[in-house]
């Protein structure tokens, strides 16, 4: 584990740190107080709020490699079909979901100009990603560029370059469209907190936020940090960026190591009037052993159990808020501690009941959770080339699940005539 020098619990100047050689675990960073109690920085900088709208929507997209990326694009397509995409005001993501979020943020001006139609989402957003992922391997592109890492460039730097070349076109954070709060989440191993990249600010609550203006910080840097899986990619170290309460540089890893749902950024009570659309396309806990090497397999399974626990707890908390909102009815004000929205996983199974809006959804659109004999929730978590048919199946799965969730819990948001909708292009 990375170590740092000790520094005072109430730091004033990093030069006051004790001599090197006195190791300190990263989670005991002075930024969170020497010990186990986190302390907020107390700085006053906050991200700008997006413009108001009649029916604001928030999007939460989980990690899960290109499986999550493609399913997330289908989920976004459903929002366009339902006429909800124009109301998007918050979009929070992790890892593979951050690839989709970055593509959506980059395409947003073009989508708005086209009226946020389903066809525009197909043409501007989905088709280019499917074409790239089905014809090229990001993993092989990274391996082919490893020679570049012989100097100061890291594998995560290389990932950011490839993301720019493939999807993001060198977009800078401060140039993102202000209509939406774009939130790309990483995990800060220095402080043990969620680290946020947004259009106007970046940082975490223990070290404070810094403005993005004038930094040249790219969206690809945020997405690469969000997807920097430990072991495969080294941390993104922001050693030239000032944060008001930091005494050591942030070292950023895959946001899924902290919160793979992307929910924490937008789950506070202040967002209760925003309709939440959450997709968890993360990996599932596999039965059986995790390899043949005793220590490695046991650690891998323990890590999977911890991941399952954290995502389950977050999901349970959100569902409880949904239930409180349903208890007061669709036309009443949303009370404190409640929220309206939908949350689905790739493995979600909706009841076979064929009555009501959900029944009409089943009748209008065939569920296709399996591709070539394998459930889509079990597609490996990779950033590798995927079969074109598999790409389209994942997009369709995200679209179908989003529609089924609205039909089951918020049918008022779907048209009475479901034939007005159409699945993503095969």
Closest CA to 98 of 198, 243, 215: 198
Residue % of the chain over a pLDDT of 70: 85
Instruction: Give the global pTM.
Output: 0.89
Sole residue written with tokens 């389903």? 118
What mean pLDDT is predicted for residues 50-61? 96
Most confident segment among 99-113, 239-253, 255-269, 304-318: 99-113
Residue % of the chain over a pLDDT of 90: 68
Which of 161-170, 193-202, 242-251, 341-350 bottoms out in mean pLDDT, i.e. has the lowest? 242-251
| 258: helix, strand or coil | coil
**191 DSSP assignment:** T
What mean pLDDT is predicted for residues 250-276? 92
Cα distances from 258 to residues 63, 186, 196, 303, 376, in angstroms, run 11, 8, 12, 12, 24
User: What is the predicted pLDDT for the residue at 255?
Assistant: 84
167/128 Cα distance (integer angstroms): 8
Token pair listed for 195: 């680290």
pLDDT tier at 12 (50, 70, 90 boundaries)?
very low
* Contact criterion met (CB below 8 Å) for 335 and 268: no
pLDDT tier at 363 (50, 70, 90 boundaries)?
very high
Count of CB atoms situated within 10 Å of the CB of 2: 14
User: What is the predicted pLDDT for the residue at 283?
Assistant: 73
pLDDT tier at 299 (50, 70, 90 boundaries)?
low
191/246 Cα distance (integer angstroms): 9
- 82-105 pLDDT, tens digit per residue, is 999 999 999 999 999 999 999 999
Helix pair 127-135, 95-113: axis angle to 10 deg = 140
User: What is the predicted pLDDT for the residue at 301?
Assistant: 62
Closest CA to 205 of 157, 161, 264, 155: 264
Q: Taking the alpha carbons of 83, 84, 89, 94 in that order, is the dihedral positive or negative?
A: negative
pLDDT tier at 20 (50, 70, 90 boundaries)?
very low
| 288: helix, strand or coil | coil
- 22-53 pLDDT, tens digit per residue, is 444 445 555 555 455 678 899 999 999 999 99
Partners of 186 in the beta sheet? 195, 254
Closest CA to 116 of 91, 89, 74, 80: 80
What mean pLDDT is predicted for residues 46-68? 96
What length is written for the chain?
426
pLDDT tier at 310 (50, 70, 90 boundaries)?
confident
Closest CA to 315 of 281, 344, 284, 283: 344
pLDDT > 50? residue 178? yes
CB neighbour burial string for 374-400, b if at least 16 within 10 angstroms, e if fewer: eebbebebebebbeeebbbbbbbbbbb
Closest CA to 208 of 247, 266, 257, 156: 247
User: What is the predicted pLDDT for the residue at 359?
Assistant: 93
User: What is the predicted pLDDT for the residue at 291?
Assistant: 64
pLDDT > 90? residue 360? yes
What mean pLDDT is predicted for residues 191-198? 94
pLDDT tier at 348 (50, 70, 90 boundaries)?
very high
Closest CA to 163 of 193, 129, 117, 190: 129
């Amino acid at each position: 584990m990375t170590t740092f020098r000790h520094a005072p619990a109430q730091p004033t100047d990093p030069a006051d740190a004790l001599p090197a050689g006195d190791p300190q675990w990263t989670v005991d960073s002075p930024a969170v107080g020497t010990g186990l109690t986190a302390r907020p920085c107390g700085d006053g900088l906050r991200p700008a709020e997006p413009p108001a709208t009649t029916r604001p929507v928030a999007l939460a997209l989980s990690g899960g490699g290109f499986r999550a990326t493609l399913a997330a694009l289908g989920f976004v397509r459903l929002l366009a079909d339902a006429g909800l995409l124009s109301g998007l005001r918050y979009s929070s993501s992790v890892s593979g979901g951050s690839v989709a979020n970055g593509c959506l943020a980059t395409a947003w001006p073009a989508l708005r100009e086209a009226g946020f139609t389903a066809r525009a989402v197909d043409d501007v957003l989905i088709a280019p990603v499917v074409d790239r992922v089905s014809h090229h391997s990001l993993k092989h592109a990274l391996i082919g560029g490893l020679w570049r890492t012989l100097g100061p460039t890291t594998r995560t730097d290389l990932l950011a370059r490839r993301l720019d070349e493939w999807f993001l076109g060198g977009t800078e954070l401060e140039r993102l469209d202000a209509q939406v709060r774009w939130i790309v989440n990483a995990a800060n191993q220095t402080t043990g907190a969620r680290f946020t990249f947004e259009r106007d600010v970046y940082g975490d609550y223990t070290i404070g936020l810094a403005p993005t203006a004038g930094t040249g910080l790219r969206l690809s840097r945020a997405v690469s940090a969000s997807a920097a899986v430990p072991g495969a990619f080294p941390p993104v170290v922001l050693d030239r960026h000032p944060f008001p309460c930091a005494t050591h540089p942030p070292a950023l890893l895959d946001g899924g190591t902290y919160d793979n749902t992307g929910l924490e950024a937008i789950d506070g009570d202040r967002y209760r009037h925003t309709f939440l659309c959450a997709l968890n396309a993360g990996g599932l806990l596999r039965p059986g052993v995790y390899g043949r090497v005793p220590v490695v397999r046991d650690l891998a399974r323990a890590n999977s159990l911890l991941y399952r626990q954290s995502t389950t707890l977050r999901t349970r908390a959100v569902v409880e808020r949904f239930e409180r909102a349903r208890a007061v009815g669709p036309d009443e004000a949303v009370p404190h501690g409640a929220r309206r929205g939908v949350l689905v996983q790739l493995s979600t199974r909706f009841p076979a009941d064929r009555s009501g809006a959900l029944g009409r959804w089943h009748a209008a659109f065939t569920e296709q959770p399996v591709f070539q004999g394998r459930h889509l929730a079990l597609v490996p978590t990779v950033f590798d080339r995927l079969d074109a048919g598999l790409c389209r199946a994942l997009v369709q799965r995200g679209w179908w699940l989003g529609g089924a969730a609205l039909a089951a819990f918020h049918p008022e948001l779907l048209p009475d005539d479901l034939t007005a909708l159409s699945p993503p292009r095969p």
